Amino acid sequence: MFDAEKGLAQDLDGTGLRIGIVQARFNESITNTLAAACRAELVRLGVDEGDITHVLVPGALEVPLALQAMAQRGEDEDDGEPFDALIALGCIIRGETYHFELVANESGAGVTRVGLDWHIPIANAIITTENMEQAIARQSDKGVDAARVVVEMAQLLKGLAQ
């Protein structure tokens, strides 16, 4: 539950939530660790393993399209149950060209647009770093943070809908 007075999430409980995860394969050693930390935290928070759908895409630019497909799930009777929240996982490391800014900006904007268009919470854990050392330092914490964010936001939106 979210305590608006304190501004802190209290008693995060993911029981019964259906969560979709989209993981970019590029910089896979980092994104695999992000995914493992994220999944472990979701389970720790009560999300059943069977309620987690995890898909892989080539890179960060492909993440928003997969998120959109997941957000659409449940629109038709044959689609299956809709997701309560989604998670974007990826790693973009600065190189020597403008490509870093393009990928970081476009993937981030795409993730945000899907969440707003489909009214679904999305934790954006596509980390952007200057180098591999920074990525390694952030990989586990950001995976855990993403899990906590989606559970909190799913709880918040369910509470506001009542």
| Proportion of the chain above pLDDT 70, given as a percent | 90
> What predicted TM-score, i.e. pTM, was given to this entire model?
0.89
Region 122-132: what's the mean pLDDT? 93
Plot region of 131 (φ>0 → left; ψ -120 to 50 → alpha; else → beta) = beta
Confidence at 9, pLDDT banded by 50, 70, 90: low
Is a pLDDT exceeding 50 seen at residue 1?
no
**Band of pLDDT at residue 11, cut at 50, 70 and 90:** confident
pLDDT band at 77 (very low <50, low <70, confident <90, very high): low
CA distance 18 to 137: 29
What is the chain's mean pLDDT, rounded?
A: 89
Q: Annotated active-site positions, please?
A: 99
* Confidence label for 7 from pLDDT (cuts 50, 70 and 90): very low
Instruction: Read off the pLDDT of residues 26-50 as tens digits, 9 standing for 90 and up.
Output: 999 999 999 999 999 999 999 999 9
pLDDT at 75: 65
pLDDT recorded at residue 79: 61
Residue ranges and CATH numbers for the domains of the chain are 17-129+138-161 (3.40.50.960)
For 106-130, what is the mean pLDDT? Answer: 94
